[in-house]
Amino acid sequence: MKTAKSSNFDKFYLLLGFALIAGSILLVFVFLKMFLNWFSTLENQVAAAVVTVSVTALLSIGSLILSKHYEHMRDIRKELNVKKIPVYEELIDFSLKHQLAERAGKKKPSEQETIKFVAQLIPKLIIWADEDVMKSFLSFRDTAINNVAKPDPRILFIFEDILFKIRKDLGHKDKNLKKGDILGLFVTDIKKFLSQESS
């Protein structure tokens, strides 16, 4: 509980803050008025030169601020990608184990291994994954759970959607990639699945 003394201190600092803000605004107003009065006494040529120099200085400062802002945003994105890439690699590697295990003569991850992997992956996705990646992963997981008995061919394209979202999040433009192009890297009969999807 606040004492009367601490309450008075709070009020004092609040009033002091308002006074400083008001004083700063007043000071800016006074300097601006003085500048305008001084500017009005200048000859046209001198006034034009002052305006030119002022505009040039403002543009230079503005360009510097924008440059620093973009540089800062680029550094943040770079730092985030350092954290995101290992998470995305884990997701892709484990998913491909399911897709390619039989073809490589290996055993697919068991249901228990899959549950354990997803349980470890979800906290990492929550912290680092882009929201579009998270939504695609949720759709992929739900489709997989609801079609355990009879696999749904659509799940391949939902998985590809995750891959497209991951690439977009990491900065790839993918202007020339279309549906099925990424899947075609590891699904040999992708044309059959594309025709099923479109029918």
pLDDT at position 74: 79
Total-model pTM: 0.64
Alpha-carbon span 56 to 63, nearest angstrom: 10
pLDDT at position 33: 74
pLDDT at position 131: 93
pLDDT at position 165: 95
DSSP state of 77: H
Domain edges within the chain: 4-69, 74-198
The token duo for 5 is 């003394």
- The values of phi and psi at residue 26, to 5°, are -65, -40
Q: What is the pLDDT of residues 144-168, one digit of tens each?
A: 777 655 656 778 889 999 999 999 9
Residue stretches of the chain with pLDDT short of 70:
1-10, 35-51, 102, 104, 147-152, 197-199
Q: What is the pLDDT of residues 35-53, one digit of tens each?
A: 666 666 656 656 566 667 7
The token duo for 171 is 């900065």
